[in-house]
Chain A
Amino acid sequence: MSRKRSIEEINEKIRSGKAVVLTAEQVSAMGKELTPAEITRRVDVVTTATFGPMCSSGAFINFGHSSPPMRMERLTLNNVPAYGGVAAVDAYIGATETAMPYDSYGGAHVIEDLIAGKDILLQATAKGTDCYPRTEIKTFVNKNSVNEFIMFNPRNAYQNYNVAVNSTSKLKFTYMGTLLPLFGNANFSTSGELSPLLNDPDLRTIGIGTRIFFGGTTGYVAWNGTQFNTGKPMNVSGVPVGNAATLALIGDAKQMSTRFIKAVYYEKYGVSMFVGIGIPVPVIDEDMAHRLTIRNSQIQTNIIDYGSGNFEVLGQTDYESLFSGEIILEGKKIRTAPLSSVKVAREIAEILKNEITEGRFLLTEPVALFPKTSGLNKLEIRI
């Protein structure tokens, strides 16, 4: 009978420098030879990671009060609009917001520039009140001048994602990259067997309060992400086919690194942000060990037509094929390309592995587990 190991027991081993930590890729390879029981005996923690474009990202900033003070209403950072409807000098800058008409510079670039320590031009206006008389401000801010600079991403780390193809005769520029006409290519965007939520598909160890690697520093899982959906069909290996669970993440952006937070621009789509995430999964029992051995060949996803506008599901494939450079759809070979960086994801998994092995990063028991949900609401047009 499998013995359940507590997080505290694992942390005790980490503190004494005796924990055995491997990356998810290493454990997937190990799973070809060892049984889950053997892996449970040998391995304490497995590190997972991803580094891909995640649009639903942004940061809260508190600028500090000027003299005389101001209750900022409309504001921009390097001409990119930020949301000022949260108290006097708090704002939220969304990664995908852009400095129209220059739509290749956006919120993600502001965030990356702030992380890099650069000065950012803050401009704000307000009607002025008795307690906040100032009506206009124009000044420079940087990460040392502001009080807080907190990254809060409502939806990151998608558990699995679609493969995009284009059935039309026109070249399409999408958030899934450039899609060549007539099924000329197929683009995908997860780190496969290294991806966090595919290694704990039932979300047994990842929940609210889980400590993670986030953009180069320590962060936390704040909540389930938006569009969180645990109702997706599971394949025989117990992982969802297509995009399912998501995470809302929080962390101190002042401590982050531009190596793991990168602003990007997709032609004719707009700005997004690459976010580096690493999540340690404790090997609490044999079931968990078994889940962690998941391999690219055991993870399926849907092939979706991003060209026609109706997002029709055209077929399924697995990550083994996707990473091989070629998939087959209706008998026809299609070249594949990734959009998320497995190279940097591996780097994150290694960093986290070293942090834990050397006793600097302890694991957390989730404060609360995520709810089970079924399906997503559609936006009805009711006028």
Chain B
Amino acid sequence: MTSKRFVLTFPPESTGEPITYNLIKRFDIMVNIVKADVSPGKIGRLVMEMTAPAKVLKEGMAYIRQQNVECEPIEKKIHCNEELCIHCGACSAVCFAGALKMNRQTAELVFEPEKCVICELCLKSCPLNLFSIDID
């Protein structure tokens, strides 16, 4: 499974096609709308996260573009300033993706960025503010 965030830009003359509905129904893509700013007659923007196997994600992107809607992936990475980490574990409390875990033996934080789904919850959970978002 791959999770990626996309910015969708709708032209003012958008077709009104239920894009998110179709992504879910037809492509079986998990869709999570992060931010929406769409109003009739104006350029609309939608930030959403899509989770699906990489191949299906590509098909989904192609479908969105066919509807005359721009679809740009957001290339983001969560960065942890591990050198300053005190291994308290507060960030592991919110990381459902399992990217942040405590090693039982060493009592150290283990960060596996490849498991991160960029939910961003750790950003506010580290009492030392050690997480940041890198935008490629």
Which residues of A are at the interface with B, using a C-beta cutoff of 8 A? 51-53, 104, 173, 177-180, 184-185, 187, 262, 264-267, 272, 274, 323-325, 335, 337-344, 346
Contacts and interface: CB of A to CB of B under 8 A. Distances in A.
Contact of A178 (B102, B125, B129): B125
Contact of A51 (B86, B96, B124): B86
Contacts of B127: 53, 264-266, 272
B111 to A, nearest CB: 14
B93 A185 contact: yes
Contacts of A178: 90, 93-94, 121, 124-125
Contacts of B88: 52-53, 274, 338-341
In the A-B complex, the 5 residue pairs with the closest CB atoms: A337-B93, A264-B127, A342-B107, A338-B89, A343-B87
Contact of A323 (B93, B101, B104, B108): B104
Q: Chain A interface secondary structure, helix, strand, loop or mixed? A: strand
B39 interface: no
A298 B2 CA distance: 42
A180 B86 contact: no
Contacts of B96: 180, 184
A52 B93 CA distance: 16
Interface in B11-25: none
Given A339-B89, A340-B88, A180 B94 contact: yes
Contact of A325 (B104, B107, B108, B128): B104
Interface in B99-115: 101-102, 104, 106-108
Contacts of B87: 341-344
A346 B86 CA distance: 12
A343 B92 CA distance: 15
Given A178-B93, A185-B94, A267-B125, A343 B106 contact: yes
Contacts of B104: 323-325
A115 to B, nearest CB: 15
A187 B104 CA distance: 15
B90 A346 contact: no
Contact of B86 (A274, A323, A337): A274
Contact of A337 (B89, B106, B128): B89
Nearest to A180: B94
Contacts of A338: 88-89, 92, 102
B128 A262 contact: yes
Contact of A343 (B90, B107, B125, B128): B107
User: Which of A173, A184, A324, A343 counts the most chain B CB atoms within 10 A?
Assistant: A343
B102 A337 contact: yes
Contacts of A266: 127
Nearest to A266: B127
B108 A343 contact: yes
Contact of B125 (A177, A184, A274, A324): A177
Nearest to B86: A341
5 contacts: A177-B93, A262-B86, A337-B90, A342-B87, A343-B108
Contacts of A341: 86-89, 107
Nearest to B91: A337
Contacts of B125: 177-178, 267
A264 to B, nearest CB: 3
A340 B124 CA distance: 17
Contacts of A53: 88, 127
A108 B64 CA distance: 51
Nearest to B84: A262
A171 to B, nearest CB: 8
Contacts of A323: 104
A267 B124 contact: yes
B94 A264 contact: no
A177 B86 contact: no
Contacts of B93: 177-180, 185, 187, 335, 337, 339
Nearest to B98: A335
Contacts of A325: 101-102, 104
A337 B110 CA distance: 13
B41 to A, nearest CB: 35
B90 A339 contact: yes
Nearest to B127: A264
A346 B94 contact: no
B102 to A, nearest CB: 7
Contacts of A346: 107
Given A178-B90, A339-B90, A173 B124 contact: yes
A6 to B, nearest CB: 35
